[in-house]
Amino acid sequence: MKPGTVHWEEILELGKRERNGIFNYLPQHSEAGDFLLQLYLYTNPLVSVWDLDISNQNRESDYHQTFVASCISGLLDNASHEKCIDILLFKALVAAEIRFVSNFVPQESHEERLTGHLLSETLFSLELVRRQFEEACREIYTRKVNLDFHYADVAARKGERHSGADFAVIFSVALPDRPRFIKAFRFQAKKAGTAARIDRQQHRALLSPDGRGAFYVFYCMGKESGPRIGRQSPLVLPAQYCAEEIKNASMNVERTRINSNAEPFSAFLVLHGLSSESGVGRRCGSLEEAANYVYGIQYPEYAISRLLVVSVGGGAVPRPPSGGDPGSGHSDGKSLADVLFRRWRAHPDHNDTE
């Protein structure tokens, strides 16, 4: 499908109409309309954004308070023309969530398949916004700034017992108005009905070797999954949140706790993936270091199955096919694409016949 055949209005209006995705957090339809207007105003670099504000009224639930605190305040308050880049990407990720929770969550599929759908929709929405992103950057920075990304199933050759819902996202950001930085995030996906079950050994694996980049993402199941009669966004919770509570082989995290403490996936990626000031996520000095982090888990059976790399002004993302590149600077002859999107067959400690 060509990007031009899909209109933002159709996707975002679907979320507004059905209260799906991030619109599930807004108590009133009028607020959903205001929020939609804000997204469009803030993502047009030619529109003045200095006098815009979001009403603080009607914060009548923990869900709405969390949403306003993490998304509205973090992204829209004290905005500048430069901030519209973040919100443009936020709009794309909001659209991805709406398509995901509207089309795939109702199918009640397993976690691994749902993860594949979520990342595919994210990739699709980033492609939709790529041209608008580059045009906005040309207007703001008077230079070309690229938006590039690549997503791969890095477990394509795994045996079934090694596959899972774990995935990782790496951001490489180099915009003219902020320091260059790279951040890595590792996620374990869980379906959440009235509660979600957390496995202790899986939790330990997720936290190794550095818990700063470790998170759960919860797929909120159920016909009416949210407080506003709709389907909630995938919700992100730091893995360290449960660190002191898992005393047995597993534990349940109640849905109400998830709702009150987690952030929508779209807002999480923008607030922390695009921010050098946020302390959330694993800071890395290079893409190679980020790759070593997301793959460097102490329990191979819980190795990541999928990887999405997003470059926001950081240059082209290296892509397979693999092959030794003498100019890559790696002593073993591997290219940076090999290091990032390594296949299971490339792991020396495992083979495909297990």
CA 149 vs CA 116, 128, 311, 333, 341: distances in Å = 16, 12, 6, 24, 12
Give the best-scoring range by mean pLDDT among 163-172, 196-205, 287-296: 287-296
Percent of the chain whose pLDDT exceeds 90? 26
Q: Supply φ then ψ for residue 33, to 5 degrees.
A: -65, -40
Categorize the per-residue pLDDT at 150 as very low, low, confident or very high, splitting at 50, 70 and 90.
very high
**pLDDT number for residue 285:** 95
C-alpha 18/C-alpha 39 separation (Å) is: 18
Q: Tell me the pLDDT tens digit for each residue of 246-268.
A: 667 677 888 888 887 888 899 88
Which comes out higher in pLDDT, residue 202 or 184?
A: 184
In whole angstroms, give the CA distance from residue 86 to residue 92.
10
* Residue 166 pLDDT exceeds 90: no
Q: How far apart are the first and last CA of the chain?
A: 38
Top-confidence range, 21-35, 249-263, 315-329, 331-345: 249-263
Please give the backbone phi and psi of residue 75, each rounded to the nearest 5 degrees, phi first: -105, -35
pLDDT (tens digit per residue) in 34-64? 666 666 655 554 443 333 343 443 333 444 4
Amino acid letter for position 265: F
Cβ proximity of 215 and 239 under 8 Å: yes
pLDDT in the model for residue 123: 94
Amino acid present at 330: H
Quote the CA–CA distance of 159 and 155 in Å, as a whole number: 9
- pLDDT at residue 329 above 50? no
What contacts 153, CB < 8 A, 6 or more positions away?
116, 305, 306
**What distance in Å separates the CA atoms of residue 303 and residue 164, rounded to the nearest whole number?**
8
Q: Are the C-beta atoms of 81 and 140 separated by less than 8 Å?
A: yes
- What was the pLDDT predicted at 328? 42
